[in-house]
Structure 1
């Protein structure tokens, strides 16, 4: 995806620390204090323009949401939606999802959403995939013992890789959809990419998974 440069984007982000949290590392273990209500925290790694995460926050006010996005020109799109909606249960982190344990304590996050991540199709780039073992370790380090990963993609190769990667890591696959839009799944909130791909007739894949609880 070619991103349009927005020279004003960083200035707008800097003007709204209420929504785009600066120096986010200092809130590790204290994210509940940043929200109006203490309730389960769901994060989306790679939030794009923010349609999914803002719709989720609107639909489920009983949960707190954190959008995580690296690209400045995309973060500002999420911010513009939030400035319009002013959702009390949504915050934005302008950072890389590779180092989540710098921002969250173990057990602080209840759910991780991965939606239409870059498939990085070349084998030499496999470590960059958001379902590679390196990233799975990050999710495991921050998720609540009963927390889950919810993953959606249109890319069959990435989905197959993710099934294998998670299984080899020891993650339990709770449920798998090989054609989400032709299933009986209810309450699906689409991302921008999902709307585009499904309009072309492309199949959407989805899974829910969790880490097994360690025996004491």
Structure 2
């Protein structure tokens, strides 16, 4: 028996058995925890949406009322819609800017007229005390976007003051605010390009929509 235990084939079978047990355990753990993880993700998204779209704009569950559109750079973007009386009053979605430390993920809310209701940075790797001032927990810098639109803000003004624009830069950190301003402007251009479908208006009915993952498609009279 001792010889069998030291045989290469036995060692291989034993190792394979351990790997199989570990794989099954991990798979089972994932299946058991997946619903909780999904629920937490929905809660986090709902909290972000509530920060960029005031309660007065919505009477629905925005996380459940979503549509997936082709976004910038060929990537898809999930658009969450706020409704009142069945009418879409505002939308919210993520845009990504480039900061000094990497990507800056932003959630922005826009009303039917294309005016910004709110902007929040939800993920970044910027330098503490410098670039991280785009985070609302550090400063209220992002509040400067509220009320802005492509219609009421000239193209040249969509820049930091150092570049001739109207948005403040940070002392010792210009790259991060510059990247956020650029991303928010592109986010407004995204809204302008897809306004009809975002607002669920009849003019977009001829174009098929892709439902957000996890949502059961329901018959509609408009898109």
TM interval, short-chain normalised: under 0.3
Q: Which has the larger radius of gyration?
A: 2
Query: Could you tell me the TM-score, scaled by structure 2's length?
Result: 0.24
**TM-score normalised to structure 1 length:** 0.25
